[in-house]
């Protein structure tokens, strides 16, 4: 293949790339307009779209569920869920000293200040 032939093909390829990009841009506008029309027609909410796209496999890292703290340091107010490395403020101490107590049998912890309350 001669250099002239190669140059001709590269020029043609560049022209086709421009033509393809132009076609895609024009078509994209039509498609976005069609999507907007369908969203309005079917009254699709942004939340529905978010849920749909976030459920695609591999589209996004899964959201991590927040873990409630199980332990509380009364001196600093720091909390620990019991996962990961044990915090320094617990070193050499019994973890039960810092455990949050459930309120009325629910799974919501309450802070145990160590004081007993008189129920009257």
How many Å apart are CA 62 and CA 56, to the nearest integer? 10
- In tens, the pLDDT along 69-104 reads 899 888 888 999 988 899 999 998 998 988 988 766
Q: Which of 5-19, 68-82, 104-118 has the lowest mean pLDDT?
A: 104-118
pLDDT of residue 66: 82
Residues, the chain:
120
Element (H, E) at 102: strand 101-102
Structure tokens at 117: 């309350």
């Amino acid at each position: 293949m001669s250099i002239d032939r190669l140059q001709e093909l590269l020029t043609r390829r560049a022209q086709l790339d421009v033509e393809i990009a132009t076609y895609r841009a024009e078509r994209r506008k039509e498609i976005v307009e069609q999507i907007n029309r369908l969203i309005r027609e079917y009254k699709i909410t942004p939340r529905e779209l978010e849920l749909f796209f976030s459920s695609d496999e591999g589209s996004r890292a899964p959201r991590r569920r927040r873990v409630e703290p199980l332990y509380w340091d009364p001196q600093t107010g720091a909390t620990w869920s019991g996962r990961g490395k044990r915090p320094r403020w617990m070193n050499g101490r019994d973890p039960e000293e810092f455990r949050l107590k459930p309120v009325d049998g629910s799974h919501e912890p309450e802070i145990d200040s160590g004081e007993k309350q008189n129920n009257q």
